[in-house]
Structure 1
Amino acid sequence: MRVDVNRAESDLDDSRSSEATQAGAQAFLRLLNLAEQRDSGQIARVARFLASLYNGQAFPLDPYDLRAVDVAISDDMLCCLDALRWGRADLHTLGNARMLAVIERWGLRWPADA
């Protein structure tokens, strides 16, 4: 009986992980498009958030940025964080060259030791 419970929990985790990864990938691409195409204070926060997904040590996440953007944007940020939590894939690999261009476009600076 316990084996069946463990199997059911594992299947549920796999399903939840897959759903979070798919939703996170879609949210990531929406945020990436914003950072590439728009120019506002909110979008500067989006760019910093994306950079933190790209390299969290070089570009630390400020969780208060979630409160300083529109609800739809913060919902996408949370989807990305959920995908990151489930760890099926690194979202930034969906647009590695695009991410580097966003970091450059928004004037984000790599630390000297990065």
Structure 2
Amino acid sequence: MNSVQHIDTELDGYRARSSAATAEGAQAFTRLLRLAETRDSGQIVRVVRFLAATYNAQAFPLEPFELRAVDVAISDDMLLCLDALRWGQADLHTLVPDGDRRLQAVIARWGLRWPEGG
């Protein structure tokens, strides 16, 4: 295999990983958003803060230690979302039906505050 073929093969692998991560991240984001919309517990406020950080990290900075304060299934979904963000094919809220409106409603419902001018 020559170097061009090797590069093409490597790029194909990256594209496949990116697509898989985006699909898995979309499913995980949907599950987390559904929890934020329907549940009410201490863990869920952490989920909401995570979702808000994926939406606008400048307004809602990500606190990585939140991953340690939720159930394993929730933190696994958070990690899937982060992997999807790493590949950067799409903003996660755009991958779910009416994601922008739903996420903004969850942010408001849980009392997260946008910074002044935000």
- TM above 0.5, yes or no, is yes
2:41 equivalent to 1:40: yes
SS in 2 for 1:61: coil
2:22 maps to 21
2:51 maps to 50
2:108 maps to 104
2:90 maps to 89
- Structure 2 unmatched runs, 5+: none
Matched-pair identity in %: 68
RMSD: 0.5
Q: Size of the alignment, in residue pairs?
A: 114
- Structure 1 unmatched runs, 5+: none
SS in 2 for 1:50: helix
1:10 maps to 11
The TM-score with structure 2 as length reference comes to 0.95
Q: Distance in 2 between matches of 1:108 and 1:54?
A: 13
Q: Distance in 1 between matches of 2:113 and 2:91?
A: 21
Q: Distance in 2 between matches of 1:113 and 1:82?
A: 30
The TM-score with structure 1 as length reference comes to 0.98
Structure 1 stretches (4+) deviating beyond 3 angstroms? none
Q: Distance in 1 between matches of 2:86 and 2:38?
A: 28
